[in-house]
Amino acid sequence: MTTRTDRAPLPDPPSTGSSTPGSGDSPGGDHRRIAPAASKQWWVLTTRALRTMARNGELVVAVIAPVVFGLGFYLPLKFVMQLQGIDYAQFLMPIIVLQSMAFTAISAAQLAASEASTGLTTRMQTMPVVAGIPMLARLAAGTVRSIVSLIAAIGFGYAIGFRFSAGFGQAALFCATALAISVLLCLGADAIGSLSKSPEATSQALTLPQLILGMLSCGFVPESGFPEWIRPFVRNQPISQFSFAMRDMAQDGVTWEVFRPSAFWMIGLAVVCLPAALWATTRRG
């Protein structure tokens, strides 16, 4: 018997070398799933949150709320304050802005609670979404709402006689302080909303404290309008300190001595609210 030596050669076995998928050895060889960049994730979630706000009419409320809130206090108290020699439009403006920022925080808490209650937060934790991006997206959407509300509040203030008398730099500091306070409040509210998972309960829990602190502050009336026994609390609580600083920014320019308590309050809020918001939005279960 003779052996055939003209048989066609067998194909080479698959390579087991060091080449990796997607290295360009063959077209279509890369089947790995690439997660979108964090910036793109943030942008998509931010625009989604803004669309939700627009659809629910929250941006319209952001314009109307400071006007309604301001009129509710300006009209009844204007003439009483004039008798005391107080320009009430100038005096009232900081608390109108601060309350508008507080309303934004309540909206942020409701959004976080809604996403947690519908399972969206849990779903995003199972997807290749960078930790913290959903919270940052909600924060960005809340900042947009705050800017809209701030513009509406200042517009209302100018309509009733408020003016920035200390120059552009102090006016910019006024607006920057208001937005910084809004961001800090939104961080704390986001943590509460993420943990509660109930938009209704979250709204009720946050509305009462901000109204109490607002009423027991020097934002609506001077310290002399309160009984002696409660004046230390009224004078030193954060809403009053923010009002003092922002009033000076609009009037004659704020000094460091007046602004320092506000700066310390904001640092304290950042130390508490930022870690709480990050923990609440990234925890599982």
pLDDT digits (tens, 9 = 90+) for 179-202: 999 999 999 999 998 888 888 788
Give the number of other CB atoms < 10 A from CB of residue 56.
14
Token output for 240: 């009053």
Predicted local distance difference test score (pLDDT) of residue 15: 46
Between 94 and 39, where is the model more confident?
Answer: 94
pLDDT digits (tens, 9 = 90+) for 224-250: 889 999 999 999 999 999 999 999 999
In this model, does residue 91 exceed pLDDT 90? yes
Band (11; pLDDT cuts 50, 70, 90): very low
Band (8; pLDDT cuts 50, 70, 90): very low
% residues pLDDT > 70 (the chain): 87
**Identity of residue 259:** F
Predicted local distance difference test score (pLDDT) of residue 196: 83
Q: What is the 3-state secondary structure (H, E, C) of the chain?
A: CCCCCCCCCCCCCCCCCCCCCCCCCCCCCCCCCCCCCHHHHHHHHHHHHHHHHHHCCHHHHHHHHHHHHHHHHHHHHHHHHHHCCCCHHHHHHHHHHHHHHHHHHHHHHHHHHHHHHCCHHHHHHCCCCCCCHHHHHHHHHHHHHHHHHHHHHHHHHHHHCCCCCCCHHHHHHHHHHHHHHHHHHHHHHHHHHHHHCCHHHHHHHHHHHHHHHHHCCCCCCCHHHCCHHHHHHHHHCHHHHHHHHHHHHHHCCCCHHHHHHHHHHHHHHHHHHHHHHHHHHHCCC
- Which residue is associated with the tokens 């920014």? 249
In this model, does residue 4 exceed pLDDT 50? no
pTM of the entire predicted model: 0.84
Comparing 3-7, 72-76, 176-180, the range with the smallest average pLDDT is 3-7
Q: Average pLDDT, stretch 68-80?
A: 90
pLDDT digits (tens, 9 = 90+) for 110-142: 888 888 888 877 788 778 888 889 899 999 999
Predicted local distance difference test score (pLDDT) of residue 171: 96
Token output for 87: 């320009």
Comparing 43-52, 176-185, 206-215, the range with the smallest average pLDDT is 206-215
Q: Average pLDDT, stretch 24-34?
A: 50
d(CA 129, CA 143): 22
